[in-house]
Structure 1
Amino acid sequence: MALVLYDLDNTLLAGDSEHAWCEFLVDAGVLDGEDARAENERLYGEYEAGTLDIHESLKFQLEPLIKHPPEALRRWRKEFMSSRIEPMITDAAVDLVEGHRDAGGDLAIVTASNSFVSEPIADRFGIPSLLSVELEHHQHRYTGRVLGTPTFREGKVKRLVEWMRKTGRNLAGSHFYTDSHNDLPLLELVDNPVAVNPDPVLGAHAEAREWPVLRLDGGASGRPA
């Protein structure tokens, strides 16, 4: 089976899951609204510009996971999935996943979002393999430390290669779908790179390399040919 890899945010989702999680926590009164929103926007802008320090971003994202007990986090995450993530899931994105599943693809998400946020989203899509920023636990609480290399930029390639070696997979016939120029290292590695709702930098690169460009805006099917 050929690997079919998906970025998560602004690719399978019509939005960014970690950005939305912060907004949800602000609206729920868990985070201070003014300061948290400003930092959330600053970090997201740096991500879009390709200048993000992933460790600085993780420190911000993991703070509420460290401070609050697991039962509260699970309750908030359930509410977050229904109120914020479900509206981000388009028919076109579901079609894209189901088309490759029907064709016998080996499906995996490779995302820079942390595992706490991304695991239930992978489950929602029925995608069995998830490579995300893995978080350390101690006595059922998050420590704020990351396990291994964060799945960001070149880190996605490193983690993917480690996972393939461990599981006996390879990139023969592989696909990768993403919206972001931050994912160019992985796009250059697979056999079938696809730009999905691409940002301007990725869009220009895809045009120059004659890569397919897919729009998952809910208006057309994302099923592969």
Structure 2
Amino acid sequence: MPPQQPRTNARSRRSYDQYCAAARGLDAVGDRWTLLIVRELLAGPRRYTDLHADLPGVSTDVLASRLKDMEQQGLSTRRRLPPPSAAYVYELTGRGRELLPVLQAIAAWGAPALDERRPTDAVRAHWFALPLLRSLAGAGVEGLVQVRLPEGEFHVRVGGDGDSYGEGPAPDAPEVCLALDAETCVAVSRGELTVGEGVRQGRIELSGEGVLAKALLAG
């Protein structure tokens, strides 16, 4: 029997070769680190160095390989910033942004494992955006919320043109600003504590007026 010829297509080597929607999806995003890269890019366009800094543990070779694969799969694109910057950034395509509810579901399923932070755990503030966004969206509120943790800031937008989140300060004036610690943010995300309860217990500082602020305080 002649030896089998090796496949040269990287995508084919990783394919499950199953006519199944779940298998096809995993062909595209099932590799280690891919969905975490999506998590980072859901927060907005990122430079390679920023991605590497916020993905502790990934090697430069693996990160470069995953980004290339994501471009080939139509999940992300790479573009050069206009002058005077000479940097390139990676950003999600519409197809890539459709993975937001997938990551929210995974985050919700994994939330019970956040009972205790291990000494070896890295943490970034915007990593809490995914579960918090899901929690706020489920509460039926709508608007832009700025969130400040000791580890940093992020913002979430619920309702309107669709749910989204970003790292750092909000691009527009937020309707509500929340200040809380990571433990409280996890409790709100898991449905163990509402924003209103957190405010009344002194665990959350809320500033803002209007419909969104009143809705959160009433919770």
TM-score, L = length of structure 2 = 0.26
Q: Which has the higher helix share?
A: 1
For CA contacts below 8 A with separation 6 or more, give which structure has more relative contact order.
Answer: 1
